Structure 1
Amino acid sequence: MKRSMVLVAVLVVLLGIYWLMQSNRPMTDPDRPFVQIDTAQVTSLRIESSTDTVELARRGDQWFLTKPLEFPTAARMTDQALGRLGEMRKLTLVTDRPDRFREFQVDDSTGVKVSVTDRKKTHTFYLGKTSPTAGTSYARLDGSKEVWEIAGNMTPAFKRPVRDWRDKTISEADREGFIKFTFVYPKETISATLVDSVWKVEAGAEKFDADKNQISRVTGLLSRMSGVDFADTLAADAFDAPECHLIAELALGETLDLRLIPKGEDGSQYFLRKAGAPTDYVIYKSTAEVLMRKAADLRPKPEKSAEAPPQKPRG
């Protein structure tokens, strides 16, 4: 009986917590947008904070970082920022006193100043701090004294380090489209060629059929590989003597040409240079190891024979 009462009490408490959380969720009015913007028509963004000034521009269907450098943007980041623009809704007018702008971080010194240009005009506003509930934040239109509490925590979608806006994608390809890999090392060259659905390996005088699982690891990685950071300042000759030079050929005539060298003495990361790419990349050692296949890696592993069950003694 006591156990049942305890369970009922716990259930009541949990229901109370759920009700409290639901009651604290902001109720947004779709007819009260914070700023009138058709996100499908946005052509540029300018984001100013105390640490960075970033400018983005749409060119056709793709977004590019244009300041502080020219580089394709990570689609996920621009999509998130544009999505947040469409979600901004006024909840409560907090203040219209300029002396409180700093308190809510909606001025030039403390806020994130966002300028959004669509086909008609430029809209500028300040995104401020998160409210105590963490489910809302503060914002102010440029030129207005009104500080509004708006739905959602909007600032993180716009205030990002420059490197986070940059597209870290190294390769995108159909994993079924690869037909040949050539692994060039200082003292040996290994090739794996697809012949009638079988990967044929040549390593010096040795020839054998590759372990399909090992080839699958390489094709899977190259089908969608991203770096963890950029290496913008490496010398032109930094990869003249790479630890591994991988040439991956695809059926449609495309080629991925990748060179790898260790980054630092601990070897936990590698630098990667892709022929034709606008910069060099940093990848983890574990990623580099998948790309740097040796003959021993590609050779099929002998299957373990099943052990016969022990026989029971007679008598």
Structure 2
Amino acid sequence: MQQKQTLVLGGTLVVLLIIAWISGVFDRNPSNVDVPELDLPTSEVTRISVTLPDITFTVEKQGIQWFMREPVDMPADSATVTRLLNELEDLSLNNRATSNPDRYGIYGIDSTATTVSLTWSDGAEDIVISRQGRDYMSIYVKIGDNPDVYSTNGRVTVSQDLDRWRDRQILDLGTGTVMSARVTRPDDTYEVSLNNGVWMVNGQPGDSLQVTNWIRRFSPLSADGFFDDIPVQILTDPSYRIDFSTSTNTTSSVQAMPAESAVAITLGGSQFTYRVYESRLKQLFPDPSSLTGE
């Protein structure tokens, strides 16, 4: 009888140990005495490589501006890059979750994680970031070659949409610089010009408020996305075109055509074809009557 009880107790102990291992009891460290301080020189970072489950991209800083280098070479969205660096700067480590590589997957340090590689003048660091944390205000991270995985105070959100990291600004005409515009549409062409402070449309007085509001759409003009599969050469003879002349003796040409339930648009001399919503076509290339108040 006693032997049977011993076997039952022994079996129960084994089961409890297995449950404890699965739940991570042996990984937990209620003390944060040994938790290192995360001190990243984010203001000195000049290069960032981000490895997501489905894509890898790199941005690089030149002067005060960020540029994407891979997979395309173009200006990056500086606001998105700055937001990432600010979130990393505000991040602090809380407790060690595990140091066992076999258990990394429990904390999202696996193929679903994001790796952010930072480079500055005299150093570099890799941060592996989980998609989820212990709550909505935290994540799990692994720093460099350190085998420890830590829970954090604060979150880092890395957009998996590559377009969010690319600069969507097509052009910025500024305020009060446009002197004239020639608008070409499939069925008509008309001129808009400033004459002694009065906006004229095809030589007739226009509605100054409507013309001013229309020009503001290009100050700046930002895209909704990109058409990487439509080369800019296709837009050399577009259905829609605007040629702006400014007070600084510069010209800008906006060219567009309907494409795939949207509008493909580019700026003369640009290497990139942008995408804007189809509903914006009439806003950017309006009927001349809408600028005269008719």
- Tell me if both proteins adopt one fold, taking TM over 0.5 as the criterion: yes
Deviation at 1:128, TM superposition (A): 1.1
1:147-186 equivalences in 2 (<5 Å): 147-154=149-156, 156=157, 158-186=158-186
1:216-295 equivalences in 2 (<5 Å): 216-235=212-231, 237-264=233-260, 268-295=261-288
- 2:192 is matched with 192
Query: Cα deviation per residue 1:30-79 (whole Å; 9 max; x = unaligned)?
Result: xx775322111101111112211111111121111111121110111111
2:182–2:192 Cα contact (<8 Å) kept: yes
CA distance in 2, matches of 1:251, 1:236: 27
Amino acid at match of 2:169: T
Q: Secondary structure at the match of 2:171?
A: strand
Amino acid at match of 1:218: W
Query: Cα deviation per residue 1:121-152 (whole Å; 9 max; x = unaligned)?
Result: 11112111322421111101121121111122
Range that drifts further, 70-79 or 268-277 = 268-277
* TM-score normalized by the length of structure 1: 0.77
Stretches of structure 1 that go unaligned for 5 or more consecutive residues are 1-28, 302-315
1:37–1:118 Cα contact (<8 Å) kept: no
* TM-score normalized by the length of structure 2: 0.82
1:104-119 equivalences in 2 (<5 Å): 104-107=107-110, 109-119=111-121
Of 141, 144, 151 in structure 2, the residue corresponding to residue 142 of structure 1 is 144
Of 51, 54, 58 in structure 2, the residue corresponding to residue 51 of structure 1 is 54
CA distance in 1, matches of 2:57, 2:40: 20
Deviation at 1:175, TM superposition (A): 2.6
User: Percent identity at matched positions?
Assistant: 20
CA distance in 1, matches of 2:151, 2:183: 57
2:170–2:266 Cα contact (<8 Å) kept: no
Stretches of structure 2 that go unaligned for 5 or more consecutive residues are 1-31
Amino acid at match of 2:98: T
Are positions 1:79 and 2:82 aligned together?
yes
CA distance in 1, matches of 2:123, 2:195: 58
Runs (4+) of structure 1 exceeding 4 A deviation are: none
- The 3 A distance-change label for structure 1 pair 184 and 102 is same
1:114–1:125 Cα contact (<8 Å) kept: yes
Query: Cα deviation per residue 1:200-233 (whole Å; 9 max; x = unaligned)?
Result: 121xxxx311111221222110001111111123
CA distance in 2, matches of 1:151, 1:289: 48
Q: How many residues align?
A: 261
